Amino acid sequence: MPSEFELIARHFTRGTRHTTLGVGDDAALIAPTPGCELVISTDMLVEGTHFLPDTDPEDLGWKTLAVNVSDIAAMGAKPRWATLALALPDANEAWIAAFARGVFACAEEFGIDLIGGDTTRGPRNLCVTIFGEVAAGKALRRSGACVGDDIWVSGWPGRAALGLAHLQGRTVLDQARRADCIAALQRPQPRVALGLALQGLASAAIDVSDGLLADLGHILEASGVSAQVKIGVPPAPTPERDAWLSGGDDYELVFTAPAQARTAVAALATELALPLVHIGSVTTGPAGSIELRDLEGRIVEPPRRGYDHFADGPAPAGS
Amino acid sequence: MPSEFELIARHFTRGTRHTTLGVGDDAALIAPTPGCELVISTDMLVEGTHFLPDTDPEDLGWKTLAVNVSDIAAMGAKPRWATLALALPDANEAWIAAFARGVFACAEEFGIDLIGGDTTRGPRNLCVTIFGEVAAGKALRRSGACVGDDIWVSGWPGRAALGLAHLQGRTVLDQARRADCIAALQRPQPRVALGLALQGLASAAIDVSDGLLADLGHILEASGVSAQVKIGVPPAPTPERDAWLSGGDDYELVFTAPAQARTAVAALATELALPLVHIGSVTTGPAGSIELRDLEGRIVEPPRRGYDHFADGPAPAGS
C-alpha cells in the first residue's frame, strides 16, 4: 500500500503558477498582490451529510473545490489559491486519483494553485480553504443592500435540488431537464465572472448554497432591511416552485443593485450569456423578512427556508 | 436544540483585532502587511485517529489550533489569522463551549484572529487553516541545510509520546515527569518566539510532529544531504530513547545552522529560557539518511521513523 507521502506526491502535487512555495514544506508561501485584500473561506464536506458514498469521485473533486470558489465569487473576488485536507477511510488509489482529477479540473478552470493540504485516515471528510483577491475596499458584502434596490438572481436556482430529487426517486424529470439538473448538482459552475463584473455595480451579494429565500434572508438580515419577491409561478406548491425558492446547492448569485443599474445588469446578462432575473426589491420592514407575491400581486405562502445541519437530512455541499 | 447559525454565533464569533471582515459573510477579508509573504498551512484532526473520544474538549481546542501554529513557527513566521471547520456528531453545547474556550485561549496566546469557519454534522473532525506573515524572502524552509551545519533541537522531544504511553498504560511515568509529559501531549507549546528568532540564523527548520528522526529526515531529503546524530543515552532501546528519537506530537523545532552561529544559538536558549540541544551535524551522503552514534562513537540502530496514516495506529495531531 502506498504511504501517505507517496499518495500526496503522486496525486496532489502539481506545478503552481503564482505561488512562492507550494506543497512539501511545513507551510506554503504566497506573495499577495499589492493593493489587494485577501478573501478567505472554508467549507467542509462530509460523506453521508453532503454527499453519498457512491458519488462519482471525479465529480466530487470538482464540487469540493467549486463550492468554495462560489464563496469567492459572491465576494466579487478572483480565486487564486486553495488548500485541501482529506480524511479517507482507506488508501483506495483509484478513488484518490479520480478525486484529484476533479479537483485539478476545477482549479485549472478558475486559475487556482493548490498550495497545501493534509491527508489522514478517518471517515471520509473533505475540507477546502480558498483564497481570493480583490482590490482593497471593493469586496461585495452581504450588508450593503438599501431600500429601493432591485433584487436579482443569476440562472435558475433549484436545478440541483431537482436533480437530487430525481436521483433519489422523489420526482421524475423529463429527458430535457434531467441532464441539466443533474449537472447542476454534480458539476456546479461558480459564477466567478459575474461576481467580478458586479464590483461597483451590486450593493450586496451572496451565493445560493442554502436556498434562494434563505440566502436572500442573510443579505436582508445583514443589511437590516426586508424584501418583496415576485414569483412567476402558480401559488400552489409544486416541486419546481419549492426548489426555486428553497433548493440549495446551486451556487447561483443573489445580489442587490440600485434601480439605476438596471440597464447595466441587463447588458451584463448578454455579455456573460447568463440569465440575470429581476425577482423583487428591497423594502423597509423587519430585518430579514420576505414577502412573496405572485404576478397578480397575491401573497404566496413560502416553503420553509434553508438548511440546518442539526435538524435536517442531506445537506447542500456549500452549507 | 440551537441551530447551526446560533451555535456559530454563540461560541465562535468574537471580536477580531487585525481583520477587515471576520465571521458572518461568504468569506473573510484580511489586509496583508505590505512587504510580507503569507504563510499558510492546514491540519485535520480526526476522532479515533488523532484523539480519543473522551479527550477533554478544552485541551482539544487548544491543541487543534496549536499544532497549526507550530507549522507557522517552523517557517520562522508570525501567526496572524485562522479558520476552523468542524464536523460534529451532535449539537452538544457544553462540549462546543469548552472546545471554543480552548481554541480562543490558544488564539489569544499567539495573537491570532479567528476569521471564518464551517460547522456541519458528521463524525467528529476538526480542520484548521492558519495564516502567518513573514518578511518576503525570510521564511525558514526545509531545503536550506548545508554540509557542515550544526543540527539543533528545542526542548526534549518524546515527552508527548511518553505522556500518551502513560495514559494508555503502556509505560508508567514517575510523579515528577508525569504532569510534564501529559501537558506536552495535551497542551503543546508551539515555538513561535524561537522560530521568529531563528530568521537569519537557521539554514532550515521543521517542527517535530512525526518524530525527531522522521522530521529531521524531511529536512535532509529536501536539502539533499545526510546527518550524523549523537545521542547521550545507552544504545539499548528504552521507552525514553525511542520516544526521543521517534515520538511525534511534541511540536519542538529541529533546525540546522552554520557552525559560526553556535554562540548566537546558545545565547538564544538563555534569552528564551528554552533548551536548545546540539544533536549532530549535516554530512554528505544519500539524501535523507541519518547515522546514529552514542557518545562513545558507536553506531546505534535507530527505531523505525515516523508515522504513516495508512499503516499505523493512533497518529500525532500535526501529522
- Assign 3-class secondary structure to A89-155: CCCCHHHHHHHHHHHHHHHHHCCCEEEEEEEEECCCEEEEEEEEEEECCCCCCHHHCCCCCEEEEEC
How confident is the model over B20-45, as a mean pLDDT?
Answer: 87
Distance from C-alpha of B83 to C-alpha of B8, rounded to nearest angstrom: 13
> Looking at the DSSP assignment, which residues form a beta bridge with residue B120?
B87
A23 touches chain B (CB under 8 A): no
Closest CA in chain A for residue B47: A122
> Among A44-58, B192-206, B294-308, which range has the highest average pLDDT?
B192-206
Confidence (pLDDT) at B113: 93
Q: How far is CA A227 from CA A102, A149, A204, A224, A282, in A?
A: 38, 9, 13, 11, 4
Asked if A29's CB is within 8 angstroms of B39's CB, the reply is yes
> Looking at the DSSP assignment, which residues form a beta bridge with residue A257?
A150
pLDDT band at B171 (very low <50, low <70, confident <90, very high): confident
Indicate if the pLDDT at residue B311 is higher than 50: no
Confidence (pLDDT) at A49: 86
Q: Which residue, A258, A229, A225, is CA-closest to A143?
A: A225
Taking the CA of residue B296 and the nearest CA in chain A, the distance in Å comes to: 34
Total residues belonging to chain A? 319
Q: Could you tell me the end-to-end alpha-carbon distance of chain A, in angstroms, rounded to an integer?
A: 35
pLDDT band at B234 (very low <50, low <70, confident <90, very high): low
Distance from C-alpha of A36 to C-alpha of A32, rounded to nearest angstrom: 7
Confidence (pLDDT) at A83: 94
Taking the CA of residue B34 and the nearest CA in chain A, the distance in Å comes to: 7
B313 touches chain A (CB under 8 A): no
Contacts of A222 in chain B (CB under 8 A): 24-25
Confidence (pLDDT) at A311: 47
Are the beta carbons of A68 and A188 closer than 8 angstroms?
Answer: no
Question: Between residues A34 and B232, which one has the greater pLDDT?
Answer: A34
Strands A290-294 and A226-231: parallel
Distance from C-alpha of B56 to C-alpha of B180, rounded to nearest angstrom: 17
Asked if B125's CB is within 8 angstroms of A46's CB, the reply is yes
Confidence (pLDDT) at A304: 66
Question: Between residues A100 and B18, which one has the greater pLDDT?
Answer: A100
Question: Between residues B308 and A59, which one has the greater pLDDT?
Answer: A59
Position A134: which residue type? V
Q: Which helix (H) or strand (E) holds A28?
A: strand A28-30
Indicate if the pLDDT at residue B73 is higher than 90: yes
Taking the CA of residue B77 and the nearest CA in chain A, the distance in Å comes to: 10
How confident is the model over B232-257, as a mean pLDDT?
Answer: 82
Tell me the HSE value of A153 on the side-chain side, using a 13 A CA sphere. 24
Q: Which three cell numbers stand for residue B48?
A: 479515533
pLDDT band at B236 (very low <50, low <70, confident <90, very high): low
Residue segments in chain A with a per-residue pLDDT below the cut of 70: 1-5, 8-9, 233-237, 304-315, 317-319
Distance from C-alpha of B183 to C-alpha of B163, rounded to nearest angstrom: 8
User: Considering only residues 54 to 73 of chain A, which have any Cβ-Cβ distance to chain B shorter than 8 Å?
Assistant: 71-72
Contacts of A254 in chain B (CB under 8 A): none
Contact residues for B102 (Cβ-Cβ < 8 A; gap 6+): B57, B58, B59, B60, B61, B62, B63, B64, B65
Nearest to B31 among A37, A115, A119 (CB): A37
